[in-house]
Amino acid sequence: MAEYFKEPSRTFNEYLLIPGYSSTECTPANVDLSTPLVKYRPDTEECPLRMNIPLVSAIMQSVSGVRMAIALAREGGVSFIFGSQPVESEAEMVRQVKSYKAGFVPSDSNVRPDSTLEDILRLKEKSGHSTVAVTEDGTQSGKLVGIVTSRDYRITRTPMDAKVSSFMTPLEKLITAEEGVTLSEANDILWDHKLNALPILDKQGRLLYFVFRKDYESHKENRLELLDSEKRYIVGAGINSRDFRERVPALVDAGADVLCIDSSEGYSAWQAETLKWIRQQYGDTVKVGAGNVVDGEGFRFLADAGADFVKIGIGGGSICITREQKGIGRGQASAVIDVAAERDKYYRETGVYVPICSDGGIVYDYHMTLALAMGADFLMLGRYFARFDESPTAKLNINGNYVKEYWGEGSNRARNWQRYDMGGAGKLSFEEGVDSYVPYAGTLKENVTTSLNKVRSTMCNCGTLTIPELHKNARMTLVSATSIVEGGAHDVILKEARNSIK
């Protein structure tokens, strides 16, 4: 006879937090949102990879590209570059993120002297960078002959076919430094000469790196930014259970700090095989998460298989139709509560703490706090991040409203059959995701700051200052349908329609 779970499958919307005693120490400024990303033994060691905020971006084409990874790491979280692309292009995206904050930055925007302003603008749109190196052969390490910045031309006056050589700042007017200069010395040169960028050249005059003033200022402005031991941004990358033998080495070589098996259902021999191979090849030096699961049994399977963290959620994403198509899944609140209990039991038995990630089901900002209170160590968000400037999709104006494109990895547009693979014929048999739009919301920094301010404030209302304290001391109640209505504006005539985007 089939097994039946006694409790209904519940969502975050069905719960509210009960306030706890707030001491004078309970102020948002005192709240610490740092959290472990990978497994460790709390009694004997520090976690080798922690985040400063409990947010990671989803492993999706429409969410996690280079700009997203940089912006999120700057705020203290981690982006997982999407894996539904060729191995080489994913590895190159990882390299771009790792080189962005290295202090000495290889130039990724290069042209020849006979290039045109049109070439400059096209390159700027592609890379997002306003400093373009002009080298004799147009390569990254060619002999430097000049630099173009936005101060060197005016779009309204400079012809699009104007040669770069006619408006660039030539080498003889540039201040440069030679190979061997330290980062501290380079920063001093930047400040002493009021420069925005300092080219570093070898003895033959070939371009090696740039040092940017903005990197120094960025570090001062973003106190939570997540950096590795070489002061480069932390970045993750998605893998699958098909081509992992080729993809993992390429991503490790590119500098990925953490990997995650991207699958709609993680309780499988395919994921165990992938984890086993990685452990055989790299031991514990390569950090890799697995998932997704929705109950304690699935969590223990992946923890025993060697996962560094376990992802929770099937069918709860806004563009996911797995539940409609296949009839599998579980309400996200129920899944997180169940897996968190097994995570704690596993820690008591083994001494190993395996972090859990809630993936999906977040509609409102307060759902973030609920997911953390229910036991999640961090959250993976897709729709939330897809709305921002930094997501890789197009910003469109539809009927007077700005939107951004957002599609699921199980849609025909993504064609990410590996994510839904069950050892079949190597193609997407049917869709498990939709193609859609989401309301445009502005910059990542502005929105993440607002959302996490709400989380910090709510944690203070609960009398907690850290995520582990919230795990331990949170009190929750189920809500009725009428109490949900009562919780919003009601029985009044609003002066104007609210236009806030949750």
Active site residues: 320, 419
- Strands 169-170 and 144-148, by their bridges, are antiparallel
Closest listed residue to residue 416, CA positions, set 49, 82, 90, 48: 82
Rg (CA), the chain: 25
CA pair distance 429, 238, nearest whole angstrom: 22
What residue ranges in 240-296 does DSSP mark as E strands? 258-261, 288-293
Q: At what angle do helices 365-373 and 444-461 cross, to 10 degrees?
A: 50
81 CB burial (10 A radius; 0-12, 13-18, 19+)? buried
Closest listed residue to residue 141, CA positions, set 217, 77, 208: 208
Q: Which residues contact 257 (CB under 8 A, 6 or more apart)?
A: 49, 78, 228, 234, 235, 236, 287
Q: Are 138 and 112 in contact (CB under 8 A)?
A: yes
Sign of the CA dihedral with 241 first, then 242, 245, and 246 last:
negative
The alpha-helical segments, DSSP class H, found in 83-139 are 87-100, 117-127
What is the per-residue DSSP string for 388-451? BTTSSSPEEEETTEEEEEEE-TTSTTT--GGGG-SSSSSS--S-SB-EEEEE--B-HHHHHHHH
Which structure tokens are listed for 53? Answer: 């905020």
Q: Are 56 and 378 in contact (CB under 8 A)?
A: yes
Q: In Å, how far are 90, 256, 279, 381, 415 from 94, measured between CA atoms?
A: 6, 6, 22, 19, 22
Q: How many helical (H) and strand (E) elements, i.e. helices and strands, does the chain have?
A: 16, 22
Closest listed residue to residue 346, CA positions, set 298, 378, 313, 387: 298
